[in-house]
Amino acid sequence: MQKLIDAINAPQPERRADARFQPAFGTTCQLLPTGQQGLVWDVSTFGVGMLLASVPDAGTDIPAEFHTDGGGSPIAISLRVMYTRSLSTGDYFVGARFSRSLTEAEIDTLTTPFAVKPSLSVRAGSPKAKGPTARTGLRRAAVSYSTTE
């Protein structure tokens, strides 16, 4: 019986293939077919989480551009919608996978150097971090969000 209790209480492994990072302030995603703007919630080399006012269908491939308040050239990339979740505000949380991995320069453009909101759970220099996080000398914040439902 104790083995069963221990198994239930054991921490669950991270499902994500790559660490997620806090986007730079004002980072948005524009879905090109419709012009709809989404607020980027988190980003990794392989995908993005964002808030949208209307929901695209899961499995849909969508050309998109990412913009930051800092200006500069937008980052153009196609997304595949992996999942959507309706929020109590009437908006939708959308998880999407990029058609290609982001480059180190693109991650640097879209993310904030180690400066995070105090309410977030932060793992600096996460051992699971791959790609640009592991290669750069910059410290970035790998964030994990928890919900209380």
Task: Note the pLDDT of residue 70.
Answer: 81
Euclidean distance between the first and final Cα of the chain, in Å?
28
| Residue 39 falls inside a structural domain | yes
Do residues 85 and 47 make contact, with C-beta atoms less than 8 angstroms apart? no
| Residue 59 falls inside a structural domain | yes
Q: What is the CATH number of the domain that holds 29?
A: 2.40.10.220
Task: Tell me the whole-structure pTM to 2 decimals.
Answer: 0.65
| Residue 107 falls inside a structural domain | yes
State both tokens at 64: 């998109």
CA 59 to chain centre: 17
Task: Note the pLDDT of residue 20.
Answer: 82
| Residue 53 falls inside a structural domain | yes
| Residue 87 falls inside a structural domain | yes
| Residue 149 falls inside a structural domain | no
Mean pLDDT of each 10-residue bin along the chain, 149 residues long: 52 57 91 94 94 92 94 92 93 95 91 52 42 38 45
Which one-letter amino acid corresponds to residue 76?
A: A
Question: Domain containing 68: what range?
Answer: 2-144
Task: Note the pLDDT of residue 2.
Answer: 63
Burial category of 100 from C-beta neighbours within 10 Å (exposed 0-12, middle 13-18, buried 19 and up): exposed
Domains identified in the chain, total number: 1
